[in-house]
A = this chain, B = another copy of it.
């Protein structure tokens, strides 16, 4: 066994200068204050130090990367830039004691994705329907309250620290639906954004702003927001310049245009490339980026019209524009073609726009996945998306195609646990780590999160938690909307079941269940043609029920209830079985959590236990409503004769 100094006696040397190096120094100094040890700034000799954190401006590791190694009783982190040093420090923290015990040859770490971003759907004014945080399930906003900047800047700084520890380097501080007060963050309320940016900057987190496409009209008093109008372009250039004067490292704009009622270039007969490029050009002189969301579809669809398919919309709108977007314009694409359902195919846009910078947008906030009252760790789902290869095995994975970044809708609020459900923190952490390395094994990331969250956890806790989180997404899928059919939620708030909740709505989200069968025919041969938006081999795989994966069957095909899945079960029996299994799995998870009471702080344990009660109730409600609905409609009894109401 090698000799090494105990925690309280370790000596750390930090070399380099700049604000983020100060942050690193502050972190180490803080740790020394708590655990003992010493931190020294500068010095040419590494001898006698346990840890050396060094900035060497040779560019070898890029702005954010670092090299890590341990040899001769000394752990070293070498970065080419300040951010890299910060991430290197958090790498040491993640390794914990082993960073000071095990020799390791020098190895490089660099983020695979340059932009790793959280979008906050936080409103400045409390929205009469959506509240302070749209689709927020973790209390209020960290940034805004009742129309004003919240002003709790130390908390924002702590949030920046949390994000950096997860590897996240960008935050958009307001909702993509930009209402009247929020619009003004771009102009006369810019100071409030600058205050936030100042708190996030020390942790390497750049600030972005959602803006309204109509800003030149509503803020600038111009008669038009036409992106090709010279006055409009000048207005945006001026606005961008003023933003950068206040926030020199400002990240850029996020725009939801021509989407669910938001204004956009369609009003002026211009393309989305015209719109995005106009903003890109305003940002370019300052190094900023526009994130243009691809979530454009007809939300006033007539449910009677079966030829319109919302799933097609992003591809239909954007694929023809490939190559037309400016270099600093990023097209931000939801991971699936619909809207963050528990199961969707990967958006075909990722395979269709090789000449466009694409960002993948996922949803950490659990809008459709239990609203942080249900445990639903989304790591495996995101990993599946990021590892999906649109052109087949030989082609690139989505994680490699995401040159524009990885973006998650934030699941964080002013809740003491940050995320409402304490276990929902795992989604935040996993997102950050997958954004750093999209090919990472999500199960390993989960283990990291468990180890960091419960630092002195005995094996019983670790081994209890692991399966409970690992399986939670598939469990959630089991008791909710089956076989990729999606939705079936209560309209508006989207919590809890309502099988027909969106069936006769204008939102384009239908399952077409009748007494004989269910599902949406999206084949090219007989359906909406959505399957043909994929390249080979996927177009072929999805085209036929014979090759379509079970879990996406009803997304792509309308089949009889008696259709036999690859699993050997009929669709209807699958519906029943998975509903019963899902509930049993939640009941078992609740039991496991209860058994861990002595190993988790009382308050945290109670919070999770209370949410498991709600999850069990909710899962049973899903099971019973879905089963009753399909029994009533299909007339096919459960083969195992279990109670269906």
Are A504 and B625 in touch, CB under 8 angstroms? yes
**Which residue of B500, B629, B645 is within 8 Å of A498 (Cβ)?**
B500
The CA of A631 and the CA of B629, in the complex, are separated in Å by 15
Contact across chains for A515 and B633 when beta carbons are under 8 A apart: yes
Name A599-645 residues within 8 Å CB distance of B. 621, 624-625, 628-629, 631-635, 645
A515 in complex: contacting residue of B304, B490, B515, CB < 8 Å: B515
Residues of B within 8 A of A500 (CB): 498-500, 629
Q: For the complex, give the distance between the alpha carbons of A304 and B621 in Å.
A: 10
Chain B residues in 8 Å Cβ range of A490: 491
Point out which of A624, A631, A632 has the most chain B C-beta atoms below 10 A from its C-beta: A632
Report A336 CB to chain B, min CB distance, Å: 26
Tell yes or no: A146 within 8 A of B by CB.
Answer: no
A514 at the binding interface (Cβ < 8 Å) = yes
A71 contacts the other chain (CB 8 A): no
A497 at the interface (CB under 8 A from B): yes
User: Which has the most chain B C-beta neighbours within 10 Å: A504, A625, A628?
Assistant: A504
Given A500-B498, A504-B497, also A304-B645 (CB < 8 A):
yes
From B515, B624, B631, B635, contact of A632 by CB (8 A): B515
Chain A interface residue count, Cβ-Cβ cutoff 8 angstroms: 24
Q: Name the distance in Å between A302's Cβ and chain B's nearest Cβ.
A: 9
CB pair B497 A632 closer than 8 Å: no
Given A304-B624, A514-B633, 9 new contacts (CB under 8 A):
A304-B645, A490-B491, A498-B504, A499-B500, A504-B628, A513-B632, A515-B633, A515-B635, A632-B633
Once the chains bind, are A634 and B504 in contact (CB under 8 Å)? no
Q: What are 16 A-B contacts defined by CB distance under 8 Å?
A: A303-B645, A304-B624, A304-B628, A490-B491, A497-B504, A498-B500, A498-B504, A500-B629, A504-B624, A504-B625, A513-B632, A514-B635, A515-B515, A515-B632, A632-B633, A633-B633
**Quick one: which of A461-519 are within 8 Å of B by CB?**
490-491, 497-500, 504, 513-516
Nearest 9 CB-CB pairs, A to B?
A514-B632, A304-B645, A515-B515, A504-B625, A500-B500, A515-B635, A515-B633, A633-B633, A304-B624
Could you say how many copies of this chain the assembly holds? 2
Chain B residues with CB under 8 Å of A498's CB are 500, 504
Assuming the contacts A500-B498, A504-B497, asked whether A515 and B634 have C-beta atoms less than 8 A apart, the reply is yes
How distant is the Cα of A631 from the Cα of B628 in the complex, in angstroms?
Answer: 18
Contact in complex: A635, B516 (CB < 8 Å): yes
The secondary structure that dominates the A interface is loop
A631 to B621, CA, bound (A): 26
> Which residues of chain B are within 8 angstroms of A632 by Cβ–Cβ distance?
513-515, 633
Q: Which of A297-328 contact B (CB under 8 A)?
A: 303-304
- The residue of chain B having its C-beta at the shortest distance from the C-beta of A516 within the complex is B635
Nearest B residue (CB) for A635 = B515
In the complex, what distance in Å separates the CA atom of A635 from the CA atom of B635?
12
Among A499, A500, A624, A633, the most chain B Cβ lie within 10 Å of the Cβ of A500
Chain B nearest CB from A631 CB (Å) reads 8
Residues of B with C-beta under 8 A to A629: 500, 504
Minimum CB–CB distance for A625 against chain B, Å? 5
Give Cα A498 to B503, complex, Å.
9
Residue of B nearest to A514 (CB): B632
Complex Cα distance A39/B87, Å? 95
User: Smallest CB-CB separation from A513: which chain B residue?
Assistant: B632
- Residues on B with C-beta less than 8 A from A497 are 504
Contacts of A491 in B (CB 8 A): 490
Which residues of B sit under 8 angstroms from A513, Cβ to Cβ?
632
Chain B residue, CB-CB nearest to A490: B491
What chain B residues lie within 8 Å of A625 (beta carbons)? 504
Which residue of chain B is the closest to A496 with respect to CB atoms?
A: B504
Question: In the complex, what residues of B have CB within 8 A of residue A304's CB?
Answer: 624, 628, 645
A645 — which chain B residues lie within 8 A by C-beta? 303-304
**Complex Cα–Cα for A513 and B515 (A):** 12
Docked pose: A226 CA to B568 CA in angstroms? 63
CB-contacts of A60-99 with B (<8 A): none
Task: Give bound CA distance, A516 to B636, whole Å.
Answer: 12
- Separation of A9 and B294 alpha carbons in the complex (Å): 77
Instruction: Find residues 364-390 in chain A having any chain B CB closer than 8 Å to their own CB.
Output: none
Q: How far is the CA of A491 from the CA of B304 in the complex (A)?
A: 21
CB of A609, distance to nearest CB on chain B (Å): 23
Interface code A389-414, partner B: CB below 8 Å = 1, 0 otherwise?
00000000000000000000000000
Interface centre among A515, A516, A621 (most CB of B within 10 A): A515
Please give me the residue from chain B that is nearest to A636 by CB atom.
Answer: B515
* Residue numbers in B under 8 Å from A499 (CB-CB): 500
Q: Nearest Cβ distance between residue A494 and chain B, in whole angstroms?
A: 14
Cα of A633 to Cα of B634 in the assembled complex, Å: 8
Q: Which of A510-554 contact B (CB under 8 A)?
A: 513-516
The residues of B that contact A631 with a CB separation of less than 8 Å are 514
Task: Name the B residues within 8 Å of A516 (CB-CB).
Answer: 635
How far apart sit A202 and B632, CA to CA, in the bound complex (Å)?
60
Tell me which residues across on chain B come within 8 A of A634, comparing CB atoms: 515
What CA separation (Å) do A490 and B491 show in the bound complex?
Answer: 10
Closest Cβ–Cβ distance, residue A488 to chain B (whole Å): 11
A633 CB → nearest B CB, Å: 6
CA A303 to CA B514, docked complex, whole Å: 22
Q: Smallest distance from the beta carbon of A335 to chain B beta carbons, Å?
A: 30
Q: In whole Å, how far is A194's beta carbon from the nearest beta carbon of chain B?
A: 34
CA A631 to CA B497, docked complex, whole Å: 23
Cβ-closest chain B residue relative to A620:
B304
Specify which chain B residues have a CB less than 8 angstroms from the CB of A514 in the assembled complex: 631-633, 635
Tell me how far the C-beta of A511 lies from the nearest C-beta in chain B, rounded to whole angstroms: 11
